[in-house]
Amino acid sequence: MRSIATFLFGLAIATPALANVPYLEVPACPDKGTITYNQSVPDKTDFPKTQVDLCYGDKSISITFTAYEETNFYYNSSYTTNDPIYEYEVMETFIARGTNDPQTYLEFEVAPNNVTFQAFIFNPSKSSPLDTAYLTTPLDDGLSATTTLDKPGQTWTSKVEVPLGLFNVDEGQAKGTEWRMNFFRTVVSPSTFPEQELGAWSPPDGDSFHVTPFFGDVRFV
Ligand SMILES: *[C@@H]1O[C@H](CO)[C@@H](O)[C@H](O)[C@H]1NC(C)=O
Ligand SMILES: *[C@@H]1O[C@H](CO)[C@@H](O)[C@H](O)[C@H]1NC(C)=O
Ligand SMILES: *[C@@H]1O[C@H](CO)[C@@H](O)[C@H](O)[C@H]1NC(C)=O
């Protein structure tokens, strides 16, 4: 017989819009809002500690991704801008302006060798992306990453700038804006490839990161 717990679990899966998502306040630079996460997707088991520091400036969002407990530093050296670097190890953010569960959002990723992936995703089902609009000149756009590896310290860090204009926030107008974001990391080694461990700030209920009702709430204060 179905227990109440099973029934409630089934209900939660069927109505992801009711997901209880985390909230972050992000100050103007040089102050920072900080999140750390250590839960896998979708099972919420232990995952290597991952940190994200955010602040906003006049023209861009500054994001520092820090991967702790990293032992693989695994990437494909033949991959370049906008190649599927997410098959290997990356840190990622999905970003949309506004408060609703987004249908369109920026997907930004960086690999340990500093290669980036950047595209707007069109995902009208909010759970299964339909189309991908690549940003093909990220450096001209002001979308950049600077990556440092500390192999003895088992850490890699990428400092990223994301232009506010991509979200129609004019110069100096970011204070008070509201956002939906999620942050992710993939972990895989040569011996486990292509099976990845996935981690998230707000873990979705399935193997895909693209379930927008799970994006956290973010406010620029
Ligand atoms: C995961 O993070 C939580 C909250 O920051 C912390 O209490 C917990 O000890 C961490 N777990 C591990 C295994 O590091
Ligand atoms: C890197 O990607 C290329 C192109 O998909 C593939 O042929 C190659 O085997 C990959 N290398 C590694 C180390 O996985
Ligand atoms: C990484 O790429 C950026 C552009 O996105 C560049 O400015 C930087 O010098 C590159 N190298 C490192 C080590 O971060």
Complete DSSP assignment for the chain: ---HHHHHHHHHHH-GGG----EEEEPBTTS-EEEEEEEBTTT--EEEEEEEEEEE-SSEEEEEEEE-S-------TT--TTS-GGGS--EEEEEEESSS--SEEEEEEE-TTS-EEEEEEE-TTSSS--EEEE-S-HHHHT-EEEEEEETTTTEEEEEEEEEGGGGT--TT--TT-EEEEEEEEEE--TTTTT--EEEESS--SSS-S--GGGPEEEEE-
pLDDT score recorded for residue 207: 87
Ligand 1: does its nearest atom lie under 6 Å from the Cβ of 46? yes
Domain range spanning residue 107?
4-13+35-206
**How do the pLDDT tens digits run along the chain, 221 residues long?**
333 333 344 344 444 445 689 999 999 999 999 999 999 999 999 999 999 999 999 999 999 999 999 999 999 999 999 999 999 999 999 999 999 999 999 999 999 999 999 999 999 999 999 999 999 999 999 999 999 999 999 999 999 999 999 999 999 999 999 999 999 999 999 999 999 999 999 999 988 999 999 999 999 99
Q: Is 192 in the pocket of ligand 1 (CB under 6 A)?
A: no
Of all atoms in ligand 1, which is nearest to the CA of residue 39?
1
Report the CATH number that the domain containing residue 99 is assigned in CATH: 2.60.40.1190
- CA of 133 from ligand 2 middle (Å) equals 24
Number of domains comprising the chain: 1
Q: List, in order, residues 6 or more apart from 204 with CB less than 8 Å away.
A: 16, 41, 42, 210, 211, 214
Query: Is residue 26 a part of any domain in this protein?
Result: no
Is 21 a domain residue? no
* Ligand 2 proximity of 78 Cβ (cutoff 6 Å): yes
Decide if 217 is inside a domain: no
What b/e readout covers 181-213, taking b as 16+ CB neighbours within 10 angstroms? Answer: bbbbbbbbeeeeeeebbbbbbbbbbeeebbbbb
Residue 23 forms part of a structural domain: no
- At residue 214, the pLDDT reads 97
Residue 165 in domain: yes
* Domain contains 145: yes
Instruction: Annotate 142-169 with b (16+ C-beta within 10 A) or e (fewer).
Output: ebbbebebeeeeebbbbbbbbbbebbeb
* pTM, rounded to two decimals: 0.91
Mutate to test the pocket of ligand 2, among 73, 74, 75, 78 (most ligand atoms within 8 A of CB): 78
User: CA 142, CA 139: separation in Å to the nearest integer?
Assistant: 5
Is residue 148 assigned to a domain?
yes
